[in-house]
Amino acid sequence: MELTDLCKELNNWFDISRYFGRFTIKDGAIDLSEMTTDGSIIEGQYFRIAGSVFNDGVYQYPASGLTDEVFEGAVWAMAVPPAVTALYLKIDEWVTAHSKEIDSPYQSESFGGYSYSKSGGGDASGNLTWQGHFKHELNRWRKICPY
């Protein structure tokens, strides 16, 4: 689970400014000097890369470990609320703790006095998902329109 997944599910990128153009990722780092000069990106802030072949997603500045490339696209400065960051960590912890149930192809089973049933919080097919489990907490941050 990544913060990118959460923002995509919410249809909310918490963007405050967008820069379009040609970007270079070299030695695993992206050059955002234009954005740091005008104060759009500061250390520890999240940003989104869009339009890249290898690196689309949400990162924290300064990012490292990116795949080198030059691309025409966009970088969005983000203002992710602390409550969303906390929710992301809570979801990530839950996904880790429930990975066996999430990955299981079975909804229920029983044998020899033992029975097991997946709890609520699933998708339409009854599969256990973080989206279903945290639906009510996620709804606060959802955007219907992508603008």
- Above 50 in pLDDT, residue 2? yes
**Residue among 2, 11, 93 nearest 46 (CA):** 2
* Phi, psi dihedral angles at 19 (to 5 degrees): -120, 130
Residue 105 host element (H or E): none
For residue 128, pLDDT over 90 is answered with no
Banded model confidence at residue 35, pLDDT cuts 50, 70, 90: confident
The pLDDT tens digits for 66-115 are: 999 999 999 999 999 999 999 999 999 999 998 888 776 665 556 666 65
pLDDT digits (tens, 9 = 90+) for 40-65: 899 999 999 999 999 999 999 999 99
**The one-letter amino acid at 65:** G
- pLDDT of amino acid 99: 85
Contact between 94 and 133 under an 8 Å Cβ cutoff? The reply is: yes
Mind giving me the DSSP string for 39-86?
TSS-TT-EEEEES-SS--EEEESSP-SPPPEEEEEEEEEE---HHHHH
Q: Where are the domains of the chain?
A: 3-78, 82-139
CA distance 61 to 20: 18
pLDDT band at 123 (very low <50, low <70, confident <90, very high): very low
